[in-house]
Amino acid sequence: MSKTLKNIVMRRWRGILKFMLSLRFLIVSLSLSGVLFTIGNGYYSTYQLQKNLLIDVSLESNRVYAEKLAHMTESFLENAKSQLGTGAVFVAPMLKRKVIQPAELQSGLDQIRNMSQGFNSVSILDRDGVILSISPKSIGLEGSRLSDSITSNFEDSSAKFIGPITGPTGTYLSFLSHPIFSKTGEYIGDLLGTIYLHENRFLDRLLSQHGYVDGSYVYVVSPQKDLIYHPLKNRIGEKVTNNEVINRVTKGQSGSLEVVNSKGVPMVTGYAYVKESGWGIVAQSPRATVLKELDRQLWLVMKQAIPMQILILTFIVGSAYFIARPLRQLAQSTTNRDRTIKIKAWFYEAYLLKKVIRKEIDFLNDKVSRFDEDRKKDALTGLMNRRAMDELVADLVAQLTPFSVIFFDIDHFKYVNDEFGHEIGDDVLKALTRIVSQKVNDEGVLIRSGGEEFIVILPDKKPQHAIDLAEEIRVLVAQEVIPQIARPITISLGVSNWNHTMEEGDAFKRADLAMYESKNAGRNRVTSRFY
């Protein structure tokens, strides 16, 4: 390289270095870095906040859905048991005749099966476990004897839920049995209702409503951890052991949990236990699907904010050059000591830049703050929600502040929704909030815990005061006519208390039990449970 070319290259590098070390470049670089970091951190914080909120909502939604399905399944099994009991009374005289009429017995069974839409087949067994008759007749198992492993479950005089097992025809099924007694109380056989787990109309109709378009699905496990319902029919009968949700629900637990399914997909899961059969119902959604909408919303927010952010960044760059100009002039003046340059103070311009950045920070912080407030507020009534209550109780417990608690909900609220519709039901909840709020006033905090259920926290209030207040609330509510339904409503209340000698959750458990005691005792009353 020639000396001349080398000098040119060196001059260019010195020029670049001089520019990078100039005040203008440094101010612009630092300002842009700070603003971009602030914006990025704001988006990240907002995303994390909303992500956690969405996952919490999805977990709760799936838990509530699983609980709903469990309740419906429980109701179906109880109804089926009742239908079998009626059927057992119906066929008992037919079995006590000296000569059993097969045609009559078959006709009676057909009537019982048609009455109950949940059974794939219905059969009558004698005392030795021999099938006397079966509906539909096309199954052709009359005269067959069930194995001892099945008939051993019929030894006592109560209805039984049996299974899942592989039946005589190779079908994967469950039984619901009911003993048949004569008028004198003599045990003469059993009436069996059979559910084919691969093709049961009730299970398909009940559990397929969750929909599988977005990857969400519902499955059911037996107490032995066998899949007895799954959208993939080939998986029915499969035993699943390495699954925390299944381990929990087969122990009789209900709740929600983030898990990874058998295919390695992270899932947001809710689960509920069916007491009647010991089944566990699990509703779950892919975690990625839950967060997909959040990604889309965040992108929309970014698109809307980009023009303003570009405008802000442009202003910052221009301000940086303007701020640096007086100091640059001052630096240039030092090369000519005889020259006097009047330089305007630049602190005000620097203040403006700080103000712009602070405005952006405040904007993002305000957004995050609003998000956090929304998480703690019930959208319908404006009251505190359960999340806010948990924080309040945690503070009271941490400070060893004793408190009383009142649980209450609306009596027969389902009938209000059924008769007037859910919009009027919402108006009733708002009216109740107004009535109770004016009574609670500054004494405590009114919280909507969910549905038609409410909680009152009374810090530093003695139990007797809480009982008196609960009674006043009950009377006030029962006296005021709700315009939307043209009649008053009633509520059932439970009262308890907490002090530093108790566990944090004891007060709420006792208040909840007391509320249900009020309901069981006839509703529209106050029940207390204290240590």
- Residues with active-site annotation: 452
- 100 token code pair: 């059993």
DSSP bridge pairs for 229 = 220
In this structure, the strands spanning 227-229 and 526-528 are unpaired
How far is residue 267's CA from residue 189's CA, in Å, rounded to a whole number? Answer: 47
What are the Cα distances from residue 58, in Å, to 65, 294, 379? Answer: 10, 13, 17
Whether the CB-CB separation of 122 and 193 falls below 8 Å is answered with: yes
Is the previous residue joined to 136 through a cis bond, with omega within 30 degrees of 0? yes
How far is residue 5's CA from residue 17's CA, in Å, rounded to a whole number? Answer: 18
- 169 token code pair: 């025809």
Is the previous residue joined to 307 through a cis bond, with omega within 30 degrees of 0? no
Helix (H, G, I), strand (E, B) or coil at 24: helix
Q: How would you write 286-351 as a 3-class SS string?
A: EHHHHHHHHHHHHHHHHHHHHHHHHHHHHHHHHHHHHHHHHHHHHHHHCCCCCCCCCCCCCHHHHH
How far is residue 89's CA from residue 80's CA, in Å, rounded to a whole number? Answer: 14
Helices (H), 97-177: 102-115, 148-151
The DSSP 8-state label assigned to residue 112 in this structure reads H
Residue recorded with tokens 């109780």 = 393
Residue recorded with tokens 């208390």 = 497
Whether the CB-CB separation of 197 and 164 falls below 8 Å is answered with: yes
Whether the CB-CB separation of 436 and 394 falls below 8 Å is answered with: no
How far is residue 100's CA from residue 108's CA, in Å, rounded to a whole number? Answer: 12
